[in-house]
Amino acid sequence: MEPLVLANELVKMRPFEPADVVPVFELASAKEIAENTFVPHPYSREAAQEFVDRVREQWSADEAYVFAILDKATDAFAGAMGIHPEGTHNSATVGYWIGKPFWGRGLATAALRLLIRFGFEQLELNRIEAGHLDHNAASGRVMQKANMQCEGRRRQALLHREEYKDAVWYAIIREDYHRQKSVE
Ligand SMILES: CC(C)(COP(=O)(O)OP(=O)(O)OC[C@H]1O[C@@H](n2cnc3c(N)ncnc32)[C@H](O)[C@@H]1OP(=O)(O)O)[C@@H](O)C(=O)NCCC(=O)NCCS
């Protein structure tokens, strides 16, 4: 897919660029990112470079669309959010992180709403899902605010930092999306 920009009042989302390595390294090194994701910890500049190279290749190959999230007010790099389509069932999985200095301002919710719209309207998906580690209630709240429905707990589904942990799973399906859109 050609590069594209998604935007609303809070965030701008665009494909990754080589210069994003520096802010990815700075923001994704935080322990609070590691506690809630599978981003390696400690994080290195090389790992940030590999991440940026990989997501750029995935975009070019139409394997996944991982966006850089910018704070609309300043254009500062604030985080990452990607959608990974799975062809057989016309569904996709979403993953994301926001750098700690940008937490609590609605950026993750704004980005997830845009990504869901992209998934249904441009990728023409039928289902979009996401999971969070049991303890990560803030991420569950983001999914709720983006109109995803909780589908339950997958017990010890994730091996996170050498410990089996429950995952809480959310999804939105195409008919939910269109129903919500018609009442907005
Ligand atoms: C989870 C995360 C993406 C949220 O990003 P954000 O931009 O701060 O999210 P938003 O501001 O859009 O919304 C956060 C919501 O969670 C709520 N929240 C924050 N901490 C919470 C907690 N400990 N328990 C419950 N809710 C919490 C906020 O109050 C807010 O909800 P509200 O608007 O109803 O008040 C961000 O903290 C993050 O990247 N964390 C580390 C990585 C991560 O968890 N990635 C997701 C993996 S599934």
- Which three-class secondary structure state does DSSP give residue 145? helix
Q: What is the rounded distance in angstroms from the CA atom of residue 120 to the CA atom of residue 124?
A: 5
Q: How far is the CA of 79 from the centre of ligand 1 (A)?
A: 13
Tokens of 181: 């859109």
Q: Are 112 and 96 spatial neighbours (Cβ–Cβ below 8 Å)?
A: yes
Helix (H) or strand (E) holding 149: strand 149-160
User: From the CB of 132, is ligand 1 less than 6 Å away?
Assistant: yes
Residues 39-86: tens digit of each pLDDT: 999 999 999 999 999 999 999 999 999 999 999 999 999 999 999 999
Closest ligand 1 atom, CA of 131?
48
User: From the CB of 36, is ligand 1 less than 6 Å away?
Assistant: yes
Q: How far is the CA of 59 from the centre of ligand 1 (A)?
A: 26
Closest ligand 1 atom, CA of 130?
48
Place of tokens 């605010």: 145
- Which three-class secondary structure state does DSSP give residue 8? coil
User: From the CB of 137, is ligand 1 less than 6 Å away?
Assistant: yes
How many other CB atoms sit within 10 Å of the CB of residue 161? Answer: 11
Q: Are 59 and 66 spatial neighbours (Cβ–Cβ below 8 Å)?
A: yes
- What is the predicted pLDDT for the residue at 184? 82
Residues 74-123: tens digit of each pLDDT: 999 999 999 999 999 999 999 999 999 999 999 999 999 999 999 999 99
List the one residue out of 155, 148, 5 whose CA is nearest residue 65. 5
Q: What is the rounded distance in angstroms from the CA atom of residue 183 to the CA atom of residue 134?
A: 32
Q: What is the pTM of this model?
A: 0.98
User: From the CB of 30, is ligand 1 less than 6 Å away?
Assistant: no
Please state which of the four CATH numbers 3.40.50.2300, 3.40.630.30, 3.90.1580.10, 3.90.1010.10 is assigned to the domain occupying 6-129.
3.40.630.30
Helix (H) or strand (E) holding 133: strand 127-133
Q: Give me the residue spans of the domains in the chain.
A: 6-129
Pairing, β 91-98 against β 76-86: antiparallel
Would you say how long the chain is, in residues?
184
User: From the CB of 103, is ligand 1 less than 6 Å away?
Assistant: yes
Q: What is the rounded distance in angstroms from the CA atom of residue 79 to the CA atom of residue 51?
A: 13
